[in-house]
Amino acid sequence: MAEGNERVELAKLCGSKDWSKAIRVLEALLSKSLSVQDICNKAFCYSQLELHKHVIKDCDKAIQLDPTVLQAYILKGHALSALGRKDNAFLVWKEGYGHAINKTADLKQLLELEELLASAGLDKINISEDHVQNASGVMPTVSDTHSENYSESNGTHKIDTKPIGVSGICSKPTESNNKVSSGKTITIKGNSKIRSISLDFRLSRGIAKVNEGEYDQAMSIFNQVLEENPNSPEALIGRGTSYAFQRELDAAISDFTMAIKSNPVAGEAWKRRGQARAALGESNEAIEDLTKALNFEPNSPDILHERGIVNFKFKDYHASVEDLSLCVLHDKDNKSAYTYLGLALAALGEYNKAEEAHLKSIEISHDFLDGWAHLVQLYKDLANHTKALKSIHDVLLIDGRFAKAHYLRGLLHHGMGQHRDAIKDLSFAIDIESSNIECLYLRASCSHAIGEFQKAVKDYNAVLDLELDSADKFVLQCMAFYQKEIALYTASKLNTEFCWFDIDGDLDSLFKVF
């Protein structure tokens, strides 16, 4: 389709308030030519669907390309306000106004920013959503807004920019502040405009259900949409994401693949499929999909974050550092990216830089427990027990029931030969997470070391009884099997002369081979 025809179609779709299809047309236009105005138009369409994180992402992209584009500041501020981040919205509008007074070609937008700043300055907590207006003259305004964001690992994570995937495929999305309005009644009586609004409303409602963890209801909504339109990429992506959160990864990949066939420029589908493939251990395919997604959204912090984590998981540390460094360059508040950057740098032996990255992650969010855990692990690996114990003390002040911190302190005590102290910490961690295989095995080892063989055997058996779901657990279970046999043998010889202790002669050679 020629660009002129696409523009005509875009105008018609916006006139009928068919925002989902309008977004698809804009994506097609942007795949041919990157236009700041079209990026802002896409953000506007997302704002009408109340998909606020997508609005922010597109506005950031527009501002990066042209810091003087006022429409992006207006739309981003409204999206932040809708998410309850009123102070951040005020700062964005203030920044936009700073550009506006130096470039007053668009007096309408200048006056709108002045009005927004005045309103926010008087009462930041009660910024009215009634100010959402058409900021460009290209896209029409609407009074009907639809529901729920399409929140995005991790960061996956991670319907999450903490997306599903290696970093957070089972974690629930975080952006769920905006509920579906229950006071709307939409009737479909052959009117194509009303039908289009109803479709957008149902898609938004389905996304809301995914964000709330109500996957069965979400699936029912998406299935209804797909009965009417089997090739709807939005519904396929929504249903695929719902599958992914339920760990039905093959079904998720199937839906994402169908969405890509329906709309090859749907970057979200490429990203989601990459995340799901990474969770299945398909590293090459995952990297290919995430790279393809980056072609549609160059320098997207979300995709760089996800690909960086995938590269780290599959031990391509140089690529991981490259991706995560770019991610934090564009998203300076991404705590997850910083802590994974620290892990990748440590794997490359860049310990000072790794420490800086971990410290930055907890500077962004002081209660970021994973960041603290990775920092402690770094200090432990560097044999800096003083700093490690100090960091554990600090994190336990934040959350005294953080099992990982108790485990790490137990590990430190074990390494220093303080087995009884280690057992106390490990027992506390096991009280919190009874099936933590690392804690059970380490406590068994500590009991074994101080001659409490009965307790050691009990914990070794507990390790062997756990269900296998990873190669790491299998290794620990193999070690637990051998250690248990050695503990039983040692206990059987306690009341005999030392000369009768002959483990090499008493144990079958096959035991040592296997």
Domain at 457, CATH number: 1.25.40.10
pLDDT at 408: 95
Whether residue 138 is contained in a domain is answered as no
Domain stop point among 279, 307, 335: 307
Instruction: Read off the tokens for 363.
Output: 């500077």
pLDDT at 316: 93
DSSP tag of 498: G
Element housing 166 (H / E): none
Whether residue 183 is contained in a domain is answered as no
* CB-based contact 290:303 (threshold 8 Å): yes
The letter for the amino acid at 159 is I
- Supply the DSSP string of 76-142, one letter for each residue: HHHHHHHTT-HHHHHHHHHHHHHHHTT--S-HHHHHHHHHHHHHHHH-GGG--GGG---SSSSSPP-
Mark whether 467 and 486 lie in a shared domain. yes
pLDDT at 143: 28
Mark whether 412 and 479 lie in a shared domain. yes
pLDDT at 136: 33
Mark whether 342 and 412 lie in a shared domain. no
Using CA atoms, how far apart are residues 82 and 326, in angstroms rounded to an integer? 28
Q: How does pLDDT run across 445-489, given as a tens digit for each residue? A: 999 999 999 999 999 999 999 887 667 788 899 899 989 989 998
pLDDT at 266: 86
Mark whether 244 and 296 lie in a shared domain. yes
The 3-state secondary structure of 185-245, one letter per residue: CCCCCCCHHHHHHHHHHHHHHHHHHHHCCCHHHHHHHHHHHHHHCCCCHHHHHHHHHHHHH
Whether residue 8 is contained in a domain is answered as yes
Cα–Cα distances in Å, from 476 out to 416, 436, 462, 465, 479? 21, 12, 12, 12, 5
Whether residue 136 is contained in a domain is answered as no
> How many angstroms separate the most distant Cα atoms in the chain?
97
pLDDT at 239: 93
pLDDT at 99: 74
pLDDT at 114: 67
Whether residue 145 is contained in a domain is answered as no
Domain stop point among 264, 289, 307: 307
Domain stop point among 365, 390, 415: 390
Provide the residue count of the chain.
514
pLDDT at 513: 63
pLDDT at 123: 42
Mark whether 509 and 431 lie in a shared domain. yes
Using CA atoms, how far apart are residues 335 and 112, in angstroms rounded to an integer? 34
Residue carrying structure tokens 């089997």? 230
Whether residue 137 is contained in a domain is answered as no
Mark whether 112 and 226 lie in a shared domain. no
Domain tally, the chain: 4
Mark whether 118 and 234 lie in a shared domain. no
pLDDT in tens, the chain (514 residues): 566 778 888 888 888 778 888 888 888 888 888 888 889 998 998 888 878 888 898 898 888 888 888 888 889 988 888 888 888 888 888 888 777 666 655 666 666 666 766 666 544 333 333 333 333 333 332 223 333 333 333 333 343 434 333 333 333 333 333 333 333 322 333 444 444 455 567 787 888 888 888 888 889 999 988 988 888 888 999 999 999 998 899 999 999 999 999 999 888 899 999 989 988 888 889 999 999 999 888 888 889 999 999 999 889 999 999 999 999 999 999 999 999 999 999 999 999 999 999 999 999 999 999 999 999 999 999 999 999 999 999 999 999 999 999 999 999 999 999 999 999 999 999 999 988 999 999 999 999 999 999 999 999 999 999 887 667 788 899 899 989 989 998 888 888 887 777 777 777 766 666 5
Instruction: Read off the tokens for 399.
Output: 């959350």
pLDDT at 119: 66
pLDDT at 199: 57
Instruction: Read off the tokens for 133.
Output: 């207006």
Range of the domain at 81: 3-131
pTM, rounded to two decimals: 0.61
Whether residue 18 is contained in a domain is answered as yes
Q: Is the dihedral of CA 19, 22, 24, 26 positive or negative?
A: negative
The letter for the amino acid at 40 is C
Whether residue 186 is contained in a domain is answered as no
